[in-house]
Amino acid sequence: MKQFLQVTGLLLVMFMFNSCGYNRMVALDEEVKSAWSQVENAYQRRADLVPNLVATVKGVANFEQETLTKVIEARSKATGVTIDPTKITPDAIQKFQEAQNELSGALSRLLVSVEKYPELKANQNFLELQSQLEGTENRISVERKKFNETVQAYNTYVRKFPANIIAGMFGFQQKGYFEADQGAEKAPTVDFGK
């Protein structure tokens, strides 16, 4: 009789966890981790392009060394910030995003300064790297969007009743989102008078 009660109790507990969403939370958590790894892959692809871009630009005489140094430093900082996929908090996402934004800014300044160097703009290797970089930026945008959608599904599920009770019992906490850069809501001012 005791063994029967143990088996029945075990089956009841398994049914409760399944019907209260524990298994669904695990699946959604894994989807968030997978989406995060795709975000990291896209950013890593960009980071891998930077040394080739810098080497190509260095080949042009009199190119601004300060601009190249800032790109190299920003790349180092961006690749140094990592997030444990089990701890994707809003603060962790913000720190990661800040480091990536610094690299984006440095790359933008580099590409703007290239305009002064016609021989670089005609360099086939540079043009190919620039095209790959643009494609990578698009991939980053797509992967960030997919990540946010996955996080939204996860966060919604762990906040719903009765799943929120099980989530609290087993430490399923809300995940952080990528957010628009500060000031992104304002359109840039264009002045053709200068």
- Structural domains in the chain, CATH included, are 36-170 (1.20.120)
One-letter amino acid at 52 equals: N
What pLDDT is recorded for position 194?
42
Rounded Cα distance, 117 and 7, in Å: 77
Between CA 177 and CA 91 the distance in angstroms is 10
Tokens encoding 106: 């440095």
Q: How far apart are CA 171 and CA 23, in angstroms?
A: 13
Quick one: which of 85, 94, 81, 89 has its CA closest to 176? 89
Distance CA 178, CA 152 (A): 11
CB 125 within 8 A of CB 114: no
Q: What is the pLDDT of residue 46?
A: 92
How much is the pLDDT for 17? 55
Task: Give the pLDDT confidence score for residue 125 in this predicted structure.
Answer: 84
Region of residue 171 (phi > 0: left; psi between -120 and 50: alpha; otherwise: beta):
left
Spans in the chain with pLDDT lower than 70 = 7, 9-20, 61-63, 181-194
DSSP string, 102-132: HHHHHHHHHHHHGGG-HHHHT-HHHHHHHHH
Going by C-beta distance under 8 Å and a sequence separation of 6 or more, which residues neighbour residue 40? 82
* pTM of the shown model: 0.77
DSSP code for 185:
T
Q: How far apart are CA 76 and CA 70, in angstroms?
A: 10
pLDDT value for 187:
44
User: What is the Cα Rg of the chain in Å?
Assistant: 24
